[in-house]
């Protein structure tokens, strides 16, 4: 890949960006990984899962729009922006330890963490796109796979340190994110082909609706987002129906992390089948997992784990393909604005679905609740039809 770029890309660039993305995005679910311990320690309300997760999502939306409107990553070195946002996100995450007893402050800190994640995940994408002008689809698959692993990491740390206090898990996540930010800043120079983004154009909102191809990929992505973060948030509750609490974090880590396989393999398959077909296949598979929940939850244990493994792989594996489709089909003069708005609307949808399903999970049995997640994949597949017909 690197030998096709001009000038040659240093070999360390891509691995460093991937590792830095993984480390930085570990802040995303830092509280989710220790939430049972945190609830016992400071008596958080039963609705804390939905509220704290949604706060991060809302912060990410606000940060994405703010960074785009102010063209922060164009006016300053993107690697410096990445580093400063990693440090700021770490600070917001670490402050959650002394302020855990104050629920309102904890919610605000999770919002701030999400805000600064907008300077990590999208900016890391921008840095990679500047270095890899060719083969970007495969690179994006690796970076979104890194996001998936970063999301899973707090659960993995909780599993490794089963006897750790929750404070140590959160501090370890913070340390990992600092290392990622510093590594990217020191080891990845600014690309000589760093693109400058055009200012956000409100007219791009109309493009999302009026352009048939953009509408198809955007609404397919919206259906995907209805399901994705709600599944990740509910996953500890799902696995806890079949195993003891001491093993829940390890299971949640491996199932979420399996999504990185879906991203990487999906990127390869898209070269042969096309992004629309790969996105549709994965969206259909994850939607089927939603509908199969009533049977899978009580199935023999090997089938239960196979169901969750397939769900973990496919629930996020279509994400890089939706991004590629939207970027490909949007008019060149508004592609950046279209992607910004589509991502922001998608994450706004996650707030709605997380709130609905996390609140319902406190009183509705999972076998009756989880099939309703299929609404997103079903509507997403319906929206994708024009791109599938076009081949």
Render pLDDT for 354-376 as a digit per residue (tens, 0 to 9).
999 999 999 999 999 999 999 99
Mean predicted confidence (pLDDT) in 243-262: 93
What is the predicted pLDDT for the residue at 73? 75
What is the predicted pLDDT for the residue at 198? 60
Rounded distance between C-alpha atoms, residue 56 and residue 175, angstroms? 19
User: How far apart, in Å, are the Cα atoms of 52 and each of 93, 99, 107, 278, 330?
Assistant: 12, 14, 6, 32, 34
| Highest mean pLDDT of the ranges 81-85, 145-149, 331-335, 387-391 | 81-85
pTM over 0.85: yes
- Nearest partner of 380 among 208, 141, 217, judged by Cα: 217
What is the predicted pLDDT for the residue at 169? 93
Inter-residue long-range contacts of 191-196, CB under 8 Å, 24+ positions, other chains counted? 191/127, 191/130, 191/131, 192/7, 193/130, 193/131, 193/133, 194/78, 194/130, 195/126, 195/129, 195/130, 196/71, 196/74
**Taking all residues of the chain, what is their mean pLDDT, rounded to a whole number?**
90
- Tell me which of 71 and 176 has the higher pLDDT: 176
Q: How confident is the model at residue 1 (pLDDT cuts 50, 70, 90)?
A: very low
What is the predicted pLDDT for the residue at 337? 82
What is the predicted pLDDT for the residue at 213? 93
The pLDDT tens digits for 203-221 are 778 888 899 999 999 999 9
What is the predicted pLDDT for the residue at 199? 67
What is the predicted pLDDT for the residue at 144? 87
Domains and CATH numbers, the chain: 8-192 (1.20.1250.20), 202-391 (1.20.1250.20)
């Amino acid at each position: 890949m690197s030998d096709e770029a001009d000038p040659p890309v240093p070999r360390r660039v891509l691995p460093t960006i991937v590792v830095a993305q993984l480390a930085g995005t570990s802040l995303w679910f830092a509280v989710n990984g220790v939430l049972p311990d945190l609830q016992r320690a400071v008596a958080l309300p039963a609705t804390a899962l939905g509220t704290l997760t949604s706060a991060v999502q809302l912060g990410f939306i606000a940060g994405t729009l703010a960074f785009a409107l102010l063209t922060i990553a164009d006016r300053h070195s993107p690697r410096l922006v990445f580093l400063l946002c990693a440090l700021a996100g770490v600070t917001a995450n670490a402050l959650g330890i002394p302020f855990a007893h104050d629920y309102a402050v904890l919610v605000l800190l999770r919002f701030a963490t999400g805000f600064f994640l907008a300077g990590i995940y999208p900016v890391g994408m921008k840095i990679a796109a500047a270095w890899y002008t060719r083969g970007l689809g495969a690179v994006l698959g690796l970076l979104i796979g890194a996001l998936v692993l970063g999301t899973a990491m707090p659960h993995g740390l909780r599993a490794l340190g089963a006897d750790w206090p929750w404070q140590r898990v959160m501090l370890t996540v913070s340390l990992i994110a600092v290392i990622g930010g510093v590594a990217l800043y020191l080891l990845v120079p600014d690309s000589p082909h760093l693109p400058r983004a055009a200012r956000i154009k409100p007219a791009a909102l109309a493009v999302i609706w009026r352009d048939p191809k953009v509408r198809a990929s955007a609404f397919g992505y919206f259906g995907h987002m209805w399901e994705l973060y709600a599944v990740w948030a509910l996953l500890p509750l799902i696995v806890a129906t079949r195993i003891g609490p001491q093993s829940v974090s390890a299971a949640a880590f491996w199932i979420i992390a399996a999504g990185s396989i879906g991203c990487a393999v999906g990127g390869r398959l898209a070269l042969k089948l096309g992004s629309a077909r790969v996105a549709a296949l994965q969206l259909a598979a994850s939607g089927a997992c939603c509908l199969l929940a009533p049977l899978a939850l009580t199935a023999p244990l090997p089938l239960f784990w196979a169901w969750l493994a397939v769900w973990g792989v496919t629930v996020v594996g279509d994400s890089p393909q939706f991004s590629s489709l939207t970027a490909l089909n949007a008019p060149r003069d508004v592609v950046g604005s279209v992607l910004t708005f589509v991502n922001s609307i998608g994450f706004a949808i996650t707030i709605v679905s997380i709130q609905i399903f996390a609140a319902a999970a406190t009183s509705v049995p999972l076998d009756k609740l989880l099939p309703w997640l299929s609404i997103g994949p079903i509507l997403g597949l319906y929206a994708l039809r024009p791109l599938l017909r076009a081949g």
